[in-house]
A and B are shown apart, each in its own frame.
Chain A
Amino acid sequence: MTGAANTNLTHLQRLEAESIHIMREVVAEAEKPVMLYSVGKDSAVMLHLARKAFYPSPPPFPLLHVDTTWKFKAMYELRDRMARESGMELLVYHNPEAAERGINPFDHGGLHTDMWKTEGLKQALDKYGFDAAFGGARRDEEKSRAKERIFSFRSANHRWDPKNQRPELWNLYNARKAKGESIRVFPISNWTELDIWQYIHLENIPIVPLYFAAKRPVVQRDGLTIMVDDERFRLRPGEVPEMKSVRFRTLGCYPLTGAVESEATTLPQVIQEMLLTTTSERQGRAIDHDQAASMEKKKQEGYF
């Protein structure tokens, strides 16, 4: 992508230029920006773009991981490595109340996501006083996200009001806000799942190995294939982990993230499977299964 300039810009070159433009606008206009880093493939692309946007300077903001303590081990490993390599400060936040009450995905269902992620994110933003936070959400992921602005305003208590969003014309972003208000900025809004994979492939961006198929211990539960990633996993009576060749299309808390059976061990094979598959990406996440408008509700409450 960075070789000799090509007068016929490809869609990936256009998307890259747009994302870089957005990040630079935020850095120029916000007082204290931060990049939310979830260690998934979208975060990987976002971080890569940030390094390009500000080169030869390191990206002039820290990475923030709002952790639930229930991510896959491999995610923690990559997270720490990428922070080292990018020269950026890594902030890891745990909601102290969730830790104290021992909130976990086995006993607390939706509360787990709500307290660790939604509440944890709000607390972290307040604690550090960040007024702009980059997130890796894409418009193609889900219906309510198709209408999300690139600069999304949140009230002082982090709520999103779908009826009161600023119009975004051309590539002019209005980043002005009152004290206490903040912006969530989505620089890869216009990328699709295929674009993300293709870009990772072309640019050799490091991603968590869980995206590739390997023999892993899994159990079948509530229609999802769940990986037994550590000893905290509570097996139900009769459940015995089996070794299966699986991979993940999306990564979150390991007890809530469904794997797919797969033999794809290279990026082209993963992309091939994705293109020939017949279910959408977020189906592997337990969080979206409630009702049609669930994501929209979660967003109004402050979930990314």
Chain B
Amino acid sequence: MSVSTTKESSYQTDALIAADIDAYLVQHQHKSLLRFITCGSVDDGKSTLIGRLLYDSKMIFEDQLAALEADSKRAGTQGQNIDFALLVDGLAAEREQGITIDVAYRFFATEKRKFIVADTPGHEQYTRNMVTGASTADLAVILIDARKGVLTQTRRHSYLAHLIGIKNIVLAVNKMDLIGYDQAKYDAIVADYTKFAQSIGIKEFTPMPISGFMGDNITTKSENTPWYDGVPLIAHLEAVELDVTADQAKPFRMPVQWVNRPNLDFRGFSGLIASGAVRPGDAVRVLPSGKTSTITRIVTIGGDLDQAVAGQSVTLCFADEVDCSRGDVISIADAPPEVADQFEAVIVWMADEALIPGRPYWLKLGTQTVTATVQAPKYQVNVNTMEHMAAKTLELNAIGVTNLATDRPIPFEPYEANRTLGGFILIDKITNATVAAGMLHFALRRSQNVHWQALDISRETHASLKNQKPAVLWFTGLSGAGKSTIANLVEKKLVRMNRHTFLLDGDNVRHGLNKDLGFTEADRIENIRRVGEVAKLMTDAGLIVITAFISPFRAERQMVREMMAGGEFIEIHIDTPLAEAEARDVKGLYKKARSGALKNFTGIDSPYEPPQTPEIRIDTTKLTPEQAVDIIIERLIP
């Protein structure tokens, strides 16, 4: 093999291992841990560099090397030489395509540190993978092919690394051997990059001329670059400050994961300390309630600790019986984080289905999971040019700045100040997929100024005056299914029974309250949200509310269900087959939709998601409207 490998370049001291294993173990035991990410494409020599790091640290064994040699001959791009890239390609599908399409984690160690490398693909369609890999990294190695200089992808990778808050950036100008170790060319690339880095707010970075293939400036300073006055890559990786160390200097915060209650005499709060340090005797505050107490013990299986710091998983005991449960944040008493329910955030969209503004998603931040709605983006960032672009939504891999609201106030910190209390994921409520990652910028002032007014006349008073239990009869189904017909009959019958009702009809609402809305997916969602809010006010007033809307999306019906008090939302699926509804075509709308004159028509070119477990399902092919009314009334007033 022509790849240059020398015994001296390996970082593990075989001599020490052989001569004094106990001394070696003590040395290894005290190593710290640095996580970093390598950014670049296969063309930049990224896999070769990682392969080199593993090879030099002897993380490649002979059997793997033999397999690698065989693979290199079969599929390699390096002729008869060892193709390190093959070593770090994982999945069979990727191996065939010759590109990595996921995040792979690799491990190696030197005498001073253990390293976890996140290896992620470089192409724009894998932005989400890079963001994922970068989220846990202390440092980013941005690879540049010395022959090509700063490219669009270099700017993209740098922007993403900076966005995710990586403070240590290494600009590795690779393949120096292929430009004859030319200092002038190297200096020009560094100057070019400096200009760009400053423009996006990167305050400092560490440039170095390397060759992953030849081993220049990886473990030792290369004789080929006498003009380079910095340290080799490994020495730099061994020396930079770890995020976990920096976090220890910040105020104490610990999201509560689990309440440990083995018996009545012990109540402890378990979690991973996000920042700062804690000692018995410290005054602490529980957020969002704001209740205070004092730490009495830091419990571990090996005995109580007298101090614990950021990065440790612990169990804390309080002096008082204050309420504290999963999702709460324990903080130092005199410097608590803010609590808010409206934020500006930057969001990286990670799902094939685009963001739907207004749709409720689960938001997980720390150990809290709440419902959040995201507004249409203020702007989207072009990840290649960093330009701000107008956007109505965010597609896969898009990055945008937006406002979002949670359904209850949560303790948080700006991401810049605290990754744990500022970083979040969004989860689709139906598919359970992780659809986005986000970073909170700040709370919107509105949430501190708009207070909930407590009223003297309660919803119970309103209801008891009317001598009824409020409810929402939510009719859903295709256009022409018979929703309005049956809803109308139900209301007439309820009124005859002296019930106080109100019918909200889809067509009628669109003439007033919602006349500004069209029929796009986003507008349909807003239409339903407003109707839901109005229905909620009416139930507060004690009314039985009847609504007749197509309401085609499961997520929005779920959103309305969650607005209502428990048991008050009764979902009624008027189930009519599309062919039957289209045959009736009372309003002539199907005909228009089929001819293309009407866009986004449910059942034709916009989907209808039938309820999976509605409270009532009416099969109109088997029941008359009158029979349907009886079933519904029977369910409401047994």
Contact = CB atoms under 8 A, between A and B. Distances in A.
Interface of A: 1-5, 7-18, 20-21, 24-25, 27-28, 51-58, 139-140, 143-144, 146-147, 162-163, 165-172, 174, 176-178, 189-190, 192, 194-195, 198, 201-202, 268-269, 271-272, 275-280, 283, 292-293, 296
The 8 closest A-B pairs by CB, nearest first: A2-B302, A11-B33, A20-B313, A278-B62, A57-B262, A280-B61, A272-B21, A293-B92
Contact of A2 (B91, B132, B301, B326): B301
Contacts of A174: 364, 425, 427, 432, 434
Given A28-B367, A52-B301, A139 B61 contact: no
Interface in B1-33: 12, 14, 17-18, 21-22, 24-25, 28-33
Contact of B90 (A54, A143, A189): A143
B294 interface: no
Interface stretch (B144-152, B184-192, B304-312, B462-470): B304-312
B266 interface: yes
Contact of B248 (A7, A170, A268): A7
Nearest to B248: A7
A5 B113 contact: no
Interface string B233-263: 0000000000011001000000001101110
B403 interface: no
Interface in B77-94: 88-93
B91 A144 contact: yes
Interface stretch (B100-108, B219-227, B494-502): B100-108
A9 B309 contact: yes
Contacts of B88: 146
B63 interface: yes
Contacts of A56: 260, 262, 266, 268, 299
Contacts of B552: none
B100 to A, nearest CB: 9
B326 to A, nearest CB: 6
Contacts of A162: 91, 93, 102
A52 B91 CA distance: 34
A4 B62 CA distance: 41
A295 B95 CA distance: 14
A3 B103 CA distance: 35
Contact of B114 (A11, A16, A53, A296): A11
B272 interface: yes
B381 to A, nearest CB: 18
Given A9-B312, A14-B32, A169-B132, 18 more contacts: A1-B302, A5-B312, A11-B113, A16-B313, A17-B272, A52-B300, A57-B261, A144-B92, A147-B91, A162-B91, A174-B434, A268-B22, A271-B21, A272-B21, A275-B24, A276-B14, A279-B62, A292-B92
B307 A170 contact: no
A57 B263 CA distance: 8
Nearest to A274: B17
Contacts of B299: 55-56
A170 B135 contact: yes
A5 B307 contact: yes
* Of listed A4, A162, A275, residue having the most chain B CB within 10 A: A275
Contacts, number: 214
Nearest to A1: B302
B598 interface: no
Contacts of A144: 90-92
B32 A11 contact: yes
B362 to A, nearest CB: 7
A70 to B, nearest CB: 25
B309 A167 contact: no
B105 A139 contact: yes
Could you tell me the dominant secondary structure of chain B's interface residues?
A: mixed
13 contacts: A5-B305, A10-B32, A10-B33, A56-B268, A146-B90, A168-B132, A169-B423, A169-B437, A189-B105, A198-B29, A268-B25, A272-B17, A272-B18
Contact of A276 (B18, B90, B306, B326): B18
B420 interface: yes
B580 interface: no
A25 B367 CA distance: 8
A54 B131 contact: no
Contacts of B268: 56
Interface in B481-496: none
A12 B29 contact: yes
Contacts of A21: 257, 271-272, 313
A233 B18 CA distance: 37
B302 A3 contact: yes
Contacts of B258: 24, 27-28, 54
A24 B313 contact: yes
B131 A169 contact: yes
A159 to B, nearest CB: 15
A88 to B, nearest CB: 14
B114 to A, nearest CB: 4
B322 interface: no
B28 A194 contact: yes
A247 to B, nearest CB: 16
Contacts of B91: 144, 147, 162, 296
A144 to B, nearest CB: 5
A190 B22 CA distance: 24
A146 B104 contact: yes
A24 B258 CA distance: 7
Nearest to B424: A172
B608 to A, nearest CB: 21
A203 to B, nearest CB: 9
Contact of B25 (A167, A172, A271): A271
B558 interface: no
B313 A17 contact: yes
Contacts of B277: 5, 7
A4 B312 CA distance: 12
A144 B89 CA distance: 8
B167 interface: no
Contact of A190 (B32, B104, B105, B260): B105
Contacts of A12: 29
A2 B300 contact: yes
Given A174-B427, A202-B29, A292 B89 contact: no
Contacts of B61: 277-280
Contacts of A146: 88, 90, 104-106
Contact of B257 (A8, A25, A189): A25
A14 B244 contact: yes
A58 B266 CA distance: 13
A226 to B, nearest CB: 18
B270 interface: yes
A194 B109 contact: yes
Contacts of A268: 21-22, 25
Contacts of B362: 176
Contacts of B107: 139-140, 190, 192
A15 to B, nearest CB: 7
B315 interface: yes
Interface string B117-136: 00000000000110110011
A238 B575 CA distance: 75
B32 A171 contact: no
A14 to B, nearest CB: 5
Given A14-B244, A14-B311, A143-B89, A166 B63 contact: no
Contacts of B627: none
* Of listed B102, B307, B362, B437, residue having the most chain A CB within 10 A: B102
Nearest to A278: B62
B434 A166 contact: yes
Contacts of B135: 169-170
A190 B116 contact: yes
B64 to A, nearest CB: 5
A22 B92 CA distance: 28
